[in-house]
Amino acid sequence: MAAQTAGSPVRLAAETWESLFRAQVAVMRKLQAAPAFKTLPLNEYDVLFTLSRCPSGWLRQNELNDHILLSQSSLSRLVERLEKRGLVERKPVPEDGRGVQIKLTEAGWELQRQIGREHVRDIVTLVGPALTAAEQQELLRLTEKLRASVTAR
């Protein structure tokens, strides 16, 4: 008999992931087209955003790397670019001589807020009409659960 029928767990997991991935592509494609991202690529904005959410202000580069789909070397150079533009500040970690910690400058905060406002508007106009509030809640819960599980291992 067939090892994988239409309703099998294998197929379900595969289709779920593909659907999630395609939805992400579709939304991302629209979001990237926003005029704000001509100034600052979305990857770089994402770093500013992540830093803006960090309570202590400082974040280590390897921690940043977990949030972002970039190789270690690419992130290193991305941060270098941000530093050259005066958007972030780098400093060696006192208690770990190998590490580097990063913080937003005032200009970095400013630009993050500016782009962020427009970005959020775009998100709302895309996601808002697509799903009810309850559905968004549920999607938020499920993706958070998925992320937590995947990160754990």
Partner DNA sequence: GGTCGATAGATGCAAATGCATGTATCGCGG
Partner DNA sequence: CCGCGATACATGCATTTGCATCTATCGACC
The amino acid occupying position 91 is K
Listed residue (104, 86, 98, 93) closest to 47, CA to CA: 104
Please answer whether residues 108 and 51 qualify as being in contact, where contact means their C-beta atoms are separated by less than 8 angstroms: yes
The count of residues interacting with DNA (CB under 7 A) is 28
Which part of the chain contacts its own copies (CB under 8 A), choosing from 54-62, 65-73, 74-82, 102-110? 65-73
Q: Which does 118 bind (CB under 5 to 8 A by kind): DNA, its own copies, none?
A: none
Please answer whether residues 105 and 83 qualify as being in contact, where contact means their C-beta atoms are separated by less than 8 angstroms: no
CB-CB neighbours of 78 under 10 Å: 20
Interface positions with DNA (CB under 7 A):
38, 41, 43, 60-62, 65, 69-74, 76-81, 90, 93, 95-101
Interface positions with its own copies (CB under 8 A):
9-10, 12-17, 19-30, 67-69, 120, 123-124, 126-131, 133, 135-140, 142-147, 149-151
